[in-house]
Chains A and B, each alone.
Chain A
Amino acid sequence: EIVLTQSPEFQSVTPKEKVTITCRASQDIGSSLHWYQQRPGQSPKLLIKFASQSFSGAPSRFSGSGSGTDFTLTIDSLEVEDAATYYCDQSISFPRTFGQGTKVEIK
Chain B
Amino acid sequence: EVELVQSGGGLVKPGGSLRLSCKASGFNFGSYFMTWVRQAPGEGLEWVSSISAYSTHLYYADSVRGRFTVSRDNSDNSLSLQMNSLRVEDTATYYCVRDFSGYEPYDSWGQGTLVTVS
- Give me the interface of A with B, judged by CB distance under 8 Å: 32, 34, 36, 38, 43-46, 49-50, 55, 85, 87, 89, 91-92, 94-101
Binds A, one of B18-26, B76-84, B98-106: B98-106
Other than the known A43-B112, A49-B104, A91-B103, what 8 A-B pairs have Cβ atoms closer than 8 Å? A49-B105, A89-B45, A91-B105, A95-B59, A96-B35, A97-B47, A98-B45, A98-B47
B105 with A43: CB separation less than 8 A: no
Query: Which of B35, B50, B105, B111 sits near A34, CB closer than 8 Å?
Result: B105
- Which residue on chain B has the smallest CB distance to residue A55? B107
| A85 proximity list for chain B (CB < 8 A) | 44
Q: Can you pick out 12 interface pairs between chain A and chain B where the beta carbons lie within 8 Å of each other?
A: A36-B106, A38-B45, A43-B95, A43-B109, A43-B112, A49-B105, A49-B107, A85-B44, A91-B105, A95-B62, A96-B47, A98-B44
- Which residue on chain A has the smallest CB distance to residue B96? A43
Within 8 A of A (CB), among B86-118: 95, 99, 102-107, 109-112
Chain B: number of interface residues, binned into ranges: 20 to 34
| A43 proximity list for chain B (CB < 8 A) | 95, 109-112
| A50 proximity list for chain B (CB < 8 A) | 105
Closest 9 CB pairs of A and B: A34-B105, A96-B47, A43-B109, A49-B105, A98-B45, A101-B44, A91-B103, A94-B59, A100-B44
Main secondary structure of the interface of B (DSSP, over half): loop
A44 with B102: CB separation less than 8 A: no
Determine whether B73 belongs to the interface, using a CB cutoff of 8 Å to chain A: no
- Which residue on chain B has the smallest CB distance to residue A101? B44
| A98 proximity list for chain B (CB < 8 A) | 44-47
- Which residue on chain B has the smallest CB distance to residue A56? B107
CA distance A74 to B80 in the complex (A): 36
A46 with B44: CB separation less than 8 A: no
CA distance A44 to B99 in the complex (A): 14
CA distance A100 to B111 in the complex (A): 21
